[in-house]
Amino acid sequence: MAAVAIPAGLWDVAKTPEGIVANWFYVDGSKVSAGATIAEIMVEKATYEITAPQAGQLHIVVPKDGIVQPGTVIARVDGA
Amino acid sequence: MRVRVLREARAEPGEAGLARQERLDDVVAADGMPALLAWRSPPALIVAGRDRELPNFAEAQIALAMDGWPVLVRRSGGGACPVGEGTLQLALVTPAVEHSTIDRAYREMAGIVTALLSTYALPASMQRIEAAFCPGRYDVTVRGRKIAGLCQHWRRCRGMMIVTTAASIVVDEDPHGLCTAVNRFYRLAGGTRYCVADAVTSMCLAQPGPRISREALVYSVLDRLPAAVPVGHNNSL
């Protein structure tokens, strides 16, 4: 199972402690393709598209509007 | 950093400008060379995706369009940003590299905007002005008033992450008109954001010396833009 995480160091948490999951483009349990844009996070007027690291079933960990930081695992993709 | 500078002097519909900006992702991803695009449009409200979730967004969109303020949706975050023929839209499109961060990309664009403003003797700095429209930490201010707003979008294209940092510079527009459009949108759409004109300024209002026409000032800014980019060469669209 592959983790879907916010890239480490994407923003300076000393200046902006938190971002949010702005959108999920698939519902929990969906089949996703490797490289598909599955979510979008937003922090400090910046949006960042999150892609699936591998094909498989999506398991959402942080829902829409949930708080995130660099390194937060927002979902897992089960390639089985 | 070698950057291609693309300047569209004629005002074109906002949809066309946004589309041109978004197409640059593919151009930059294809050859790896960053691009700085400058464009402007007739009056429009460019809102963020989250604004579409407001309860009466569709009704507000119709009403604002009838008022001469078409509502367009951009990919980046933030709030409603009013644009017009007296505002200049910049988009710095670059491939993300190992040390790329949201903050670094903002500072890069803010550096270009402040360098540009300094050629007009305008003392600019980065500061969040809460009472301005679309406030943000990396907005550019002159004497405590917002003069340029910044926002950003990261997207995967051709296997690489492309960063678009946009700036909207108020060159010569009435802050009252800009804020009235924004406040009307949020009131009709069911939002709570509110801005005040005193929190916003323009290059025309802030600049010392005799006033020149809007078109002359815009063309002057476009002419000086390439020199504000750390390293670049020029192409006009």
Residues A9-29: tens digit of each pLDDT? 999 999 999 999 999 999 999
Per the structure, the count of domains in chain A is: 1
Mean pLDDT for B55-59 is 98
Share of chain B above pLDDT 70, in %: 97
**CB-based contact, B75 to chain A, within 8 Å:** yes
Tell me the pLDDT tens digit for each residue of A50-66. 999 999 999 999 999 99
- Decide if pLDDT at B236 tops 60: no
Tell me the pLDDT tens digit for each residue of B75-121. 999 999 999 999 999 999 999 998 899 999 999 999 999 999 999 99
- Decide if pLDDT at B233 tops 80: no
- Decide if pLDDT at B9 tops 90: no
- Is the ipTM beyond the 0.85 threshold? yes
Minimal C-alpha gap between A80 and chain B (Å) = 24
Please give the Cα distance from B152 to B25 (Å, whole number): 13
**CB-based contact, B103 to chain A, within 8 Å:** yes
Residue B171: per-residue pLDDT = 97
CATH 3.30.930.10 for the B3-226 domain, yes or no: yes
Nearest to B154 among A12, A16, A49 (CB): A49
* 8 Å CB contact of A47 and B153: yes
Q: Which residues of A touch B152 (CB under 8 A)?
A: 44-47
Residue ranges making up the domain that contains A12: 2-78
| Count of other CB atoms within 10 angstroms of residue A27 | 8
Please give the Cα distance from B125 to B110 (Å, whole number): 8
- Looking up residue A20, the CATH number of its domain turns out to be 2.40.50.100
* Planar angle of CA B182, A24, B150, nearest 5 degrees: 35
| Count of other CB atoms within 10 angstroms of residue A37 | 15
Mean pLDDT for B212-236 is 81
Residue given tokens 């924004």 in the structure block: B182
Residue B1: per-residue pLDDT = 61
Q: B210: pLDDT confidence band, cut at 50, 70 and 90?
A: confident
**CB-based contact, B77 to chain A, within 8 Å:** yes
Residue B232: per-residue pLDDT = 45
* 8 Å CB contact of B138 and A44: yes
pTM here is: 0.94
Q: Which residues of B touch A71 (CB under 8 A)?
A: none
